[in-house]
Copies of this chain bind each other. A is one copy, B any other.
Amino acid sequence: MSDYDVIVLGAGPGGYLAAERLGHAGKKVCLIEKEYLGGTCLNVGCIPTKSLLNSAKQYEHALHAEQFGVTASGVEVDWAKVQAWKAQVVKTLVGGVGAAEKKAKVEVIMGEGKLLGPGKVEVNGEVKSADHIIIATGSTPAMPPIPGTKDNPKVLDSTGLLAIDHIPGKLAVIGGGVIGVEFASLFAALGTEVTVVEMLPEILPFMDDEMAAKLRKGTKGVTFNLGCQVKAVEDGTLVFADAKGQEQRLEADVILMAVGRRPLVEGWGAKEAGLEYTPKGIAADDTMRTNLPNVWAVGDVTGKSLLAHAAYRMAEIAVSHILDTEKAAKTGQILRTNTIPWAVYSMPEAAGVGLTEAQALAQGYEIAKATVPLLLSGRFIAENGMKAPGAVKLIADKATGVVLGITVLGPYAPEMIWGAATALELELTVEDLRQVVFPHPTVSEGIREAAWAVKL
């Protein structure tokens, strides 16, 4: 008999949710974590950035409320307090994960787990056995070998910048992905001179180009350099070739390396145990099964999606198959990556789900599309004025009318996008969406306007 029904390796969103759900279902579960409960997301990812961004947004609002009849003198940011609030939020949520695991009777072991093979894990010098093993080791910031970055105290990854003890005067950001853009927005709002250097011709490569350009142009106080190749860092100077191939030198107090994250596929026995993987992730099918029997992989480590909510869903899928494979098959428990939404908490915010225009065309669709400004929304105008950036773009399959993708740029975008994920999950047509009643006056009505603006 095994020591446990299930051992989970890694206590990030995928791991902690899997353990909790299995525990409540009566399974004997062991959750192994080498660093911190809650993983990257809770400790050095989504949650601390959203806490800092909230402070920056509050500051921004307080500074600019005069238009709405609210005046304040001496608006100031106390960075130590901002950081203290972030720490309190993280501590509360990490405590919540610990309490949830305890309630689910999950045994939590702090230590570096090592997969020995199907059913066997070593941790803190002891071998533990289980009927099933779930791999949820996550990801880590990618640090490309740019000359002058290694051991340079002015070069930080996202974890380092989250912990910074002052607001930098000048910040250079290498990489215009979600991490780079969120930090750029955050510090620009607090008065930092921010420059983003991005290799591709547009920021946020997963986002529809037209909408990403709108976000870029709507971001105040950030200089974006697109199509650039970073060559080296010399102390605090970023050396890069611009879009025309000209060498540029950018001085900064802090340089953020934000070129993405890579799945943590090594260092915990994957190779030795015979698990199939590439640098892009552990190979797992759409039920989260790996090539080894009863070894499952969920979350960032699969490389299928590096988003916390995708990890949750993968965990639920693995759990459903572990608990009752027949029922899981009957209720369609498989991963559908095309209906996983994304959100960026920059200023302005953005969110989307499904295909971009370019992706839809590349897949051979003849498309119908519409982009509508949020200035159509009374609430948007009342809360943001007539010049704020905001738009909704909708892409549909011209032949069937099925909605293929929705992107929202503007306030509340992350909170309204789940409806679009639902619409895509159910393969709604534009006509179906037109019949849904949206409350008035909301910014979300922009999605409805886009559905009505599409010409099929």
Give A residues with C-beta under 8 Å from B. 13, 41-42, 46-47, 50-51, 54-55, 58-59, 61-62, 65-86, 89, 92-93, 96, 307-310, 312-313, 316, 331-333, 339-343, 351, 376, 378-379, 381-383, 386, 412, 414-423, 425-426, 428, 431, 433-445, 447-448
**18 A-B pairs in the complex with CB atoms less than 8 angstroms apart:** A13-B440, A47-B382, A50-B379, A62-B72, A62-B75, A68-B85, A69-B78, A70-B78, A70-B82, A71-B74, A72-B73, A72-B74, A73-B74, A309-B445, A340-B437, A419-B422, A421-B437, A421-B438
Number of copies: 2
- Docked Cα-Cα span, A55 to B79, in Å, equals 26
Q: What B residues does A93 contact at CB under 8 A?
A: 378, 381
CB distance from A156 to the nearest CB of B (A): 20
Cβ-neighbour of A55 out of B69, B310, B425 (below 8 A): B69
Tell me whether A440 and B69 are in contact (CB under 8 A). Answer: no
- Docked Cα-Cα span, A106 to B31, in Å, equals 66
Q: What B residues does A333 contact at CB under 8 A?
A: 435
- Docked Cα-Cα span, A376 to B447, in Å, equals 28
Q: Given known contacts A70-B77, A75-B72, is B425 in contact with A444 (CB within 8 Å)?
A: no
Q: What B residues does A441 contact at CB under 8 A?
A: 41, 46-47, 50, 308
- Docked Cα-Cα span, A71 to B59, in Å, equals 8
Tell me whether B440 and A313 are in contact (CB under 8 A). Answer: no
Cβ-neighbour of A435 out of B62, B77, B419, B425 (below 8 A): B425
- Docked Cα-Cα span, A351 to B436, in Å, equals 16
Cβ-neighbour of A65 out of B59, B417, B447 (below 8 A): B59
Tell me whether B438 and A418 are in contact (CB under 8 A). Answer: yes
- Docked Cα-Cα span, A296 to B59, in Å, equals 50
Most buried by B among A61, A70, A415, A448: A70
Q: What B residues does A78 contact at CB under 8 A?
A: 69-71
CB distance from A8 to the nearest CB of B (A): 18
Most buried by B among A47, A77, A440: A440
Q: What B residues does A82 contact at CB under 8 A?
A: 68-70
Q: What B residues does A442 contact at CB under 8 A?
A: 343, 414-415, 418
Q: Given known contacts A61-B61, A439-B418, is B69 in contact with A75 (CB within 8 Å)?
A: no
Q: What B residues does A376 contact at CB under 8 A?
A: 96
